[in-house]
Amino acid sequence: MRSWRRAASVILALSALAFALTNQSATADPGHSRFSFAVIGDIPYGDSQIADFPKVISQINADPDVRFVHHVGDIKNGSTVCSDDYFKLIKSDFDTFEDPLVYTVGDNEWTDCHRPNNGSYDPLDRLAAIRDVFFPQPGRTLGRNSVRVTSQADQGYPEDVRYTRANVAFAALHIVGSNNSMAPWTGNTSATPEQAAEVLGRTAAVVQEIRETFAAAAHEHNKAVVLLTQADMFDPTVTDPSFADYYAFQPIVRAIAEESARFRGPVYLFNGDSHVYTSDKPLDTGSQWLSFYGVTSVAPNLHRVTIDGSTDVGNWLKVTIDPGSKQVLSWTRVPFTHTK
Taking only the tens place, the pLDDT of each residue in 54-71 is 999 999 999 999 999 999
According to DSSP, residue 115 is labeled: S
Which 3 state secondary structure label does DSSP give 13? Answer: helix
Which 3 state secondary structure label does DSSP give 335? Answer: strand
- 33-335 topology per CATH: Purple Acid Phosphatase; chain A, domain 2 (3.60.21)
Cβ contact 144:105 at 8 Å: no
- pTM (predicted TM-score): 0.90
Model confidence at 21: pLDDT above 90? no
Model confidence at 38: pLDDT above 90? yes
Alpha-carbon gap, residue 136 to 11, rounded angstroms: 49
Cβ contact 321:165 at 8 Å: yes
Question: At CA 289, angle to CA 111 and CA 74, rounded to 5?
Answer: 25
What sign does the dihedral 244-246-247-248 (CA atoms) show?
Answer: positive
Model confidence at 80: pLDDT above 90? yes
Mean pLDDT score across all residues of the chain:
91
The rounded percent of the chain whose pLDDT value lies above 90 is: 87
Give the DSSP per-residue string, 194-249.
Answer: HHHHHHHHHHHHHHHHHHHHHHHHHHTT-SEEEEEES--TT-TT-SS--GGGTGGG
Mean pLDDT of 128-132: 98
CB atoms within 10 A of CB 314: 10
Q: Let me know if 23 is exposed, middle or buried by CB neighbors in 10 A (0-12, 13-18, 19+).
A: exposed
Mean pLDDT of 81-91: 98
Alpha-carbon gap, residue 295 to 293, rounded angstroms: 5
Helix axes 84-94, 123-134, angle to 10 degrees: 30
Model confidence at 12: pLDDT above 90? no
Model confidence at 19: pLDDT above 80? no
Task: Give the contacts of 263 (CB within 8 A, at least 6 positions apart).
Answer: 214, 217, 218, 225, 301
Mean pLDDT of 166-189: 97
Alpha-carbon gap, residue 143 to 111, rounded angstroms: 25
Model confidence at 296: pLDDT above 90? yes
**Which ranges of the chain does DSSP label H, i.e. alpha helix?**
2-28, 46-62, 84-94, 123-134, 177-181, 193-219, 250-262, 288-293
Predicted pLDDT of residue 339 = 58
Task: Give the contacts of 95 (CB within 8 A, at least 6 positions apart).
Answer: 142, 143, 144
